[in-house]
């Protein structure tokens, strides 16, 4: 029985104070409990879903307050784990939960349940769970969802691939040490194939390949351009000219060609084929080398 006190809060000494916050929709973890007597005159206990509990009215972030009811294994028929009674002050639903289930976290261990959800005074945001500061391990079998920054000072192991949505995709085996940002893109793809048939401009899409083959099928001059490159990307271009055509290729948007007083175009003669090697600097492919292959 609660003791009524005058000035020291003793009136609330025996009231429930423990609160839980849901880290996921908890309707499937929210139970009602009932008992009945079977044909053998044995009391049978049954857990069932709370009526009207749905993902919509039992969402992540909802705070549940203890109502003082408890269920104990053996003492309560049909109960195999310790359970506590809670109520949701927003939906007004009540029932039992396993307080150690994976969808619940302690919200506040010293706060009367009749008080409303907390609001942080400085930011004005609704309180969630308390922060964690530990020298121990943090182990989880579910998802990790971080809306802020993550700082990992030791090594990180990702066994099943890591996708970074605002940068590169690392598919496994990539080691990045000491804060190094990896800009390079290396893709072997057969989709980087172009044919010159009197085309005015051929634009290399560097997001689909690092290796491009351009087949020369006419004598018409054309311009080589590039798009979607990233800093540090290596790009290789092979001009296949087995037909002996004689076009001139000038470097266009996104490309800086071989320079000797001025940028040098490529001029074909006979069955000459040519390769070029580029590396991306800033927003341009910069030519590193040019090789002429006769009679190919």
> Which residue did the predictor score with more confidence, 243 or 93?
93
User: At residue 63, does pLDDT exceed 90?
Assistant: yes
Task: Please list, in sequence order, all residues whose beta carbon lies within 8 angstroms of the beta carbon of residue 209, skipping any fewer than 6 positions away.
Answer: 187, 188, 189, 190, 191, 192
Confidence of residue 94 (pLDDT cuts 50, 70, 90): very high
Task: Please list, in sequence order, all residues whose beta carbon lies within 8 angstroms of the beta carbon of residue 119, skipping any fewer than 6 positions away.
Answer: 125, 126, 127
43 and 54 Cβ atoms separated by less than 8 Å: no
Residue 175: predicted pLDDT = 53
Mean pLDDT, to the nearest integer, of 140-163?
Answer: 72
Q: What is the mean pLDDT of the chain?
A: 81
Q: What is the pTM of this model?
A: 0.50
Residue 50: predicted pLDDT = 96
State percent of the chain over pLDDT 90.
37
Residue 1: predicted pLDDT = 46
Q: Which two tokens stand for residue 110?
A: 């010293």
288 and 277 Cβ atoms separated by less than 8 Å: yes
Mean pLDDT, to the nearest integer, of 97-120?
Answer: 83
Residue 112: predicted pLDDT = 75
Q: Which long-range contacts does 123-128 make (Cβ < 8 Å, 24+ apart)?
A: 126/61, 128/21, 128/61
Residue 165: predicted pLDDT = 55
Distance CA 274, CA 276 (A): 7
Task: Please list, in sequence order, all residues whose beta carbon lies within 8 angstroms of the beta carbon of residue 260, skipping any fewer than 6 positions away.
Answer: none
87 and 65 Cβ atoms separated by less than 8 Å: yes
Listed range (27-31, 129-133, 210-214, 235-239) with the worst mean pLDDT: 129-133
Mean pLDDT, to the nearest integer, of 268-286?
Answer: 87
Rg (C-alpha) for the chain, rounded Å, is 34
> Which residue did the predictor score with more confidence, 1 or 109?
109
Q: What one-character DSSP code corresponds to residue 116?
A: P
Residue 103: beta bridge partners? none
> Which residue did the predictor score with more confidence, 59 or 242?
59
State percent of the chain over pLDDT 70.
80
166 and 187 Cβ atoms separated by less than 8 Å: no
Closest CA to 252 of 285, 292, 210, 217: 285
């Amino acid at each position: 029985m609660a003791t009524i006190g005058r000035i020291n809060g003793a009136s609330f000494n025996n009231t429930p104070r423990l609160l839980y916050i849901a880290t996921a929709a908890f309707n499937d973890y929210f139970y009602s409990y009932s008992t009945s007597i079977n044909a053998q005159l044995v009391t049978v206990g049954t857990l069932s879903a709370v009526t009207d509990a749905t993902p919509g009215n039992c969402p992540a972030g909802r705070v549940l307050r203890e109502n003082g009811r408890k269920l104990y294994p053996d003492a309560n028929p049909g109960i195999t784990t310790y359970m506590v009674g809670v109520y949701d002050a927003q939906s007004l639903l009540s029932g039992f939960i396993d307080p150690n289930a994976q969808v619940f976290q302690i919200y506040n261990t010293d706060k009367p349940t009749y008080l409303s959800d907390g609001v942080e005074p400085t930011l004005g945001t609704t309180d969630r769970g308390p922060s964690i500061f530990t020298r121990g391990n943090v182990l989880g079998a579910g998802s990790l969802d971080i809306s802020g920054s993550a700082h990992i000072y030791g090594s990180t192991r990702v066994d099943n691939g890591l996708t970074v949505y605002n940068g590169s995709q690392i598919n496994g085996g990539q080691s990045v040490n000491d804060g190094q940002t990896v800009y390079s893109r290396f893709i072997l793809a057969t989709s980087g194939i172009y044919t010159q048939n009197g085309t005015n401009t051929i634009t290399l899409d560097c997001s689909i390949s690092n290796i491009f083959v351009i087949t020369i099928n006419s004598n018409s001059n054309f311009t080589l351009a590039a798009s979607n490159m990233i800093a540090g990307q290596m790009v290789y271009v092979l001009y296949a000219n087995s037909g002996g055509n004689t076009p001139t290729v000038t470097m266009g948007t996104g490309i800086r060609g071989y320079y000797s007083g001025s940028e040098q175009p490529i001029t074909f003669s006979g069955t000459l084929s040519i390769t070029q090697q580029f590396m991306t600097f800033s927003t341009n492919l910069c030519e590193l080398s040019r090789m002429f292959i006769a009679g190919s």
